[in-house]
Every structure is written in C-alpha cells, then in structure tokens.
Amino acid sequence: MLKAIILTAAVAVALVVYFSLSLYVFPQSYQSIEAQRPQAIVTDVRLSAPDIVLGQALTISVTGTNNGEDADMQIVSVGFPNLTTTDNIKILKHDFDQTPILIAPGELLSSEYSDTADSSVLAQYASIEAFNRPWEAGKTYTAEIEVIPKTEGRFVVFIKSVALPHTWEQAHYPQDGTVDQQKEFVETYPVQVTKP
Amino acid sequence: MNYFRYQEYLEVYGLGRKLFAGYVLVSLGMLLAAAGGSWDITNHLLNKPETFFAPPHAVLYSGAASAVVGTVLVFFASKSGGRSAGRMIWPVKLVIAGVVMLISAAPVDFGWHSAFGLDGLFSPPHFVLVSGMVVGSAGALAGLAQSTKRLPSVLIVIAILPIWLGASGMIDMLSLPFSETEYFNFNPHPTLGVVVATLAFPFLISACLIGSSALAGKRFGVLSMAGAAFIIIGILTSIIPNSALTPTIPFYLSSIIPIVAADALLAFSRSRFSLYAAGTIVSLAFFMLYYPLITYTYNEVFESKVVWPSMIAQIYFEMIQNVFPLVAFPTAAMGILGALLIDRLARNKKYYNNIQQLS
C-alpha cells in the first residue's frame, strides 16, 4: 500500500512539473526570444547602357546581400513597368541557389511586405524575382538579366530586395522612394530607348 | 525479489541465428531509412539545396540497403530451416512484402517525378514506401519476438522504433499540409488533418511505448529507452538542422518525464488502472513529442499564419495553451485505446501458446 502511494505521488509530481514546464514555463520563455532580423540590401546595379536603340538588348546586373541575421527567404526583384509580357526577358546567368522566376501580369503577388494571402494583389507588369531560401547572413548573390524594350521612349527598371519573414524595417530595400505595384519601395533606373 | 527477471539474456532458437541476424538488419535498416526520411523532410522545409548524395539520402539508402541484406538473410534462413523455421513463416512474409514495397517505390517515385515534376509529402510512391517500412518493421519485430525467449532491451528499442517512425510518417502524410503540387492537391482539409493527428498520434505513442514495455515483461527502463530514442531522433533530424529551433531543445527533452513516469507505473504496479494511466500519460505528451512538424497541422486551423522555418517555435508556443485543453480528452481516450490493444495482444492465448511451444 505504501509502495502504491509513493509511486502515485512520484508520478503525480512528475506530471505537474512536466505540464507546468511544457504549457507555461517554456512557452513564456521562448515567446520572449526575438525573431531573426535579416537586413536586405541591393549592393550593386549595372546597366549595359544609359541609352539604347529600339530592338537592342539591355543587360542588367543586380547584386543583393543580407547584412543582418539569416533570412528564411530573400528576394531581389527586377520590375519592368513598361512591359506587359515576359517573352522578351531572359535570365543570362545567376548564382542563386534557386532558379529565378518570371512574373507575368495577372499573377498573384503579395504586397506591403506582408506574407499573408489576404494582402495579395494582381501583377500589372512583368518582373523577375531572384531569391534564395534560406538566405544566410552575409551572403551575396548576383543575377544578370537581358531585356528588349518594345517601344521607344523612357524605359524604366524597378529594383528592390525584401527579406522574409519581414520582421523589421531594415528587412526591405530601399527604405523610401517610388512605390511599385506591390505598394513597396523600389529604386528606379531609367533608360532612353531611341529609334533605330 | 526475483533477480532473474531483471537479467537480460539472448537465447536464439536452433538454426534461427541467421534468421535472427536478418531480422535485426531489417529493423536497423528500416530505422535508418525512417530517420533519414525525417531528416530529408526537415531539409525540404528549410529549402536546403538537394542532390542525390545529400546526407539524409545517404542515411535513407544505407538503411534500405541494410533492410535488403537482412531480407535476403531472412529468406534463405527460412528456406533452409526445419520445423522451427517453418513456424515463423508469417513474419518472413511480412518482411519480404515490406522490403519489396520499399524497393519498388524507388522506380515508381522516379516515374512520378518524371511525369509530374516536384512531388509533395503524400504521393502514391511515398505512400507505398512508408507502408513498406511499417509492414517490414512489423514483420521484423514479430520475427524477433518469436526467435528468442526474451529480447534484450536494446533490440526491443531497435525493433519498435521503425514501426513508430514509419507509422508517424504515414500519419504525417494524412495530416500535414505539404502535399499540394502543380498537378495534384493531396492536402487534407485542415480540420480533417487536425482530427487525424489528434486521434492517431496518441494511439500510436501509447501502442508503441506500452508495446515496448510488454515485450520486456514490463521491466523498468525499456519503455523509457524507446521514448528517449524517439526524442533523440527527433532532436537530430527535426530540430538541430533548423538553427532557429535549437534553443527549444530543453523543451523537447522534457518530454522524457511523462515517459519515465509511465514506465515506472507499468513496472511497479500491475493493476489495470496503471495500464490505463500509463496510456493516458504518454499520449498526453503527443503535442510535445511531435513538435516541430505538428505546428504546420494545427496552425492551419488555430493560427492561419505563414509558418516560416524560423517562426515555427513562436507560432507553436503561441498556440500550445489553446490547443492542449481542446485535444486533451480525445488524446487521453486514444492513449487508453492504444494501451488496451497492446494488453489484448499480450494476453492473446495463441501468442502464449506459440511461446510455450517454442520453449
């Protein structure tokens, strides 16, 4: 009888300790751990020429870096607000772990640095998203893209980088400037396209 | 005190040594394959670039190779065996069927990838592969249990773990939202996923842990060893590969407490109440033992957040206090059912007759 009482008491104490730890102590302690803070930055953008002739290809080289902590994903986005199709955009080379993807108008995109489905918007113009999953701290990746403008005049290239999850302000680049179709800041690089 | 009861010994019957070695190789192989598979799932979640020679694949294929060698041994030993070997035919059949399923899943998987590109967690070839693991491991365990008077503790753990991990993989397939691809959406409805996980995992934990205790004649330590091995495999394959989760290792390790408590209950008290209590106790730890993957299943219903690998712990610990009270009752009920099933099997008259005949 005494053995049974001791056994029951020991098991009861063990369970009280376990459920207290699992349901209260550990959750409290782990929720106070701050989320990782990646810092997205575009360190280099090179255009093959400031002016091109209609029909001539424009080459864009973009380099992105994560200057903060590890990111689960970081995107370097190159947008072409003058283009409504992706058929004259080519990825010449890149050193990202995953293959960059072409975004055609009409596709769903997230917006305002949010990763939830209810913030989705429809793409209005063509773009390329080069990304790494995960993008470790301090790592740098480059993509070289070729695009052929379809009309003469001012041809604009939008460039930005976003780290996910977007845990703080420095997780996106640039910090201000023009706002794109996703309501996110971009750097603009205009090129003049002239008649042949 | 009956000291003999606590003494481990290995007595393999007649020419069953080759058969015995075969069963051990099959169990070890299935264990390696299941652990490699778990590690591979984690790497896929982390989107780590993958090649054929990735470390998780090496573990998985080494396990498959060990299982094949073990099956060949089992097959030839059963063919050359006399009367005693003939009696063991059904575990041999299970082992062969399981390993054939495991091996045949590889070319089918290759064909599936060729036809449909990337696959999800649940695909027909994956289902065949995991079924093969469970069937083959069950055969090996049955064979081992029939080959000796009493299995050593380590062998009980090695034999029970691949069944536990394989069946867990099967439940993962039917509950995790990882199976939507370009061509097929095999994801369960979120609520169905939660129901499957809430009912199946506690039943499985209870059946495997109490089964390990039953195989050991309820001696203290074996159930704890099986639980500890499951926890260590979870840490090595699901937590350490994701650096954001390493601070949560103490939380995961703490699940050894209810396991040792249940072990003590079964070892030092033979009442039916102790059996029910042990089943309830181990099953209540299911939400903790299946961390971190279980976050994805319950998030679909309770949080609906994007579960980035670095945010798993935050989302899990946000919902644990809400989820646990809701699932506690069905969990405990399934734990008792698992314990009852094992008790029924252990009391099966035919089983005891077989053991007596072998003696």
CATH number of the domain enclosing A173: 2.60.40.1510
Which of A11, A26, A27 is nearest residue B261 as measured by Cβ atoms?
A11
Does residue B211 share a domain with residue B124?
no
Distance, CA of B50 to chain centre: 25
Report yes or no on B258 lying in a domain. Answer: yes
Identify the domain boundary among B187, B205, B227.
Answer: B187
Query: B277 in contact with A at a CB cutoff of 8 Å?
Result: yes
Does residue B331 share a domain with residue B252?
yes
Does residue A98 share a domain with residue A63?
yes
The residue-averaged pLDDT of A115-139 equals 90
Is B305's CB within 8 Å of A14's CB? Answer: no
- ipTM, two decimals, is 0.87
Contacts with A26 from chain B: Cβ below 8 Å: 248, 250-251, 254, 317
Dihedral, CA of residue B243, residue B45, residue B250 and residue A26, to nearest 10: 110
Structural domain span for residue A11: 1-33
Q: Please report the pLDDT score of residue B49 as a whole number.
A: 64
Q: Please report the pLDDT score of residue B84 as a whole number.
A: 52
Is A22's CB within 8 Å of B320's CB? Answer: yes
Does residue B20 share a domain with residue B142?
yes
Q: Please report the pLDDT score of residue B1 as a whole number.
A: 40
Report yes or no on B228 lying in a domain. Answer: yes
Share of chain A above pLDDT 70, in %: 99
Does residue A164 share a domain with residue A130?
yes
Q: How many domains does chain A have?
A: 2
Q: Please report the pLDDT score of residue B93 as a whole number.
A: 92
Query: B47 in contact with A at a CB cutoff of 8 Å?
Result: yes
Does residue A17 share a domain with residue A102?
no
Identify the domain boundary among B161, B187, B213.
Answer: B187
Q: How many domains does chain B have?
A: 2
Which of A14, A73, A97 is nearest residue B257 as measured by Cβ atoms?
A14
pLDDT digits (tens, 9 = 90+) for A31-54: 888 889 999 999 999 999 999 999
Contacts with B277 from chain A: Cβ below 8 Å: 11
Structural domain span for residue B309: 190-348
Residue of A nearest to B44 (CA): A133
- More confidently predicted of A116 and A135: A135
Q: Which residues of chain B have pLDDT under 70?
A: 1-15, 49-50, 52, 81-88, 349-359
Does residue A62 share a domain with residue A142?
yes
Q: Please report the pLDDT score of residue B53 as a whole number.
A: 73
Residue A83 token pair: 């283009």
Residue B356 neighbours by CB under 8 Å, 6+ apart: none
Q: Please report the pLDDT score of residue B81 as a whole number.
A: 60
Which of B265, B285, B318 is nearest residue A31 as measured by Cβ atoms?
B318
Does residue A148 share a domain with residue A55?
yes
Which of A4, A36, A73 is nearest residue B244 as measured by Cβ atoms?
A36
**What's the rounded Cα separation, in Å, for the pair B183 and A108?**
18
Query: B306 in contact with A at a CB cutoff of 8 Å?
Result: yes
Does residue A66 share a domain with residue A104?
yes
Report yes or no on B4 lying in a domain. Answer: no
Does residue B156 share a domain with residue B76?
yes
Does residue A102 share a domain with residue A171?
yes
Does residue B341 share a domain with residue B198?
yes
Identify the domain boundary among B158, B187, B216.
Answer: B187
Q: Please report the pLDDT score of residue B10 as a whole number.
A: 54
Phi/psi of residue A192, nearest 5 degrees? -90, 125
Best to test chain B binding among A8, A11, A29, A164 (most B CBs inside 10 Å):
A11
Does residue B180 share a domain with residue B276?
no
**Which residue from B88, B76, B71 is spatially nearest to B13, judged by alpha carbons?**
B88
Residue of A nearest to B278 (CA): A11
Task: Give the position of tokens 């691809």.
Answer: B181
Q: Please report the pLDDT score of residue B87 as a whole number.
A: 54
Number of Cβ within 10 Å of residue A189's Cβ equals: 18
Does residue B157 share a domain with residue B98?
yes
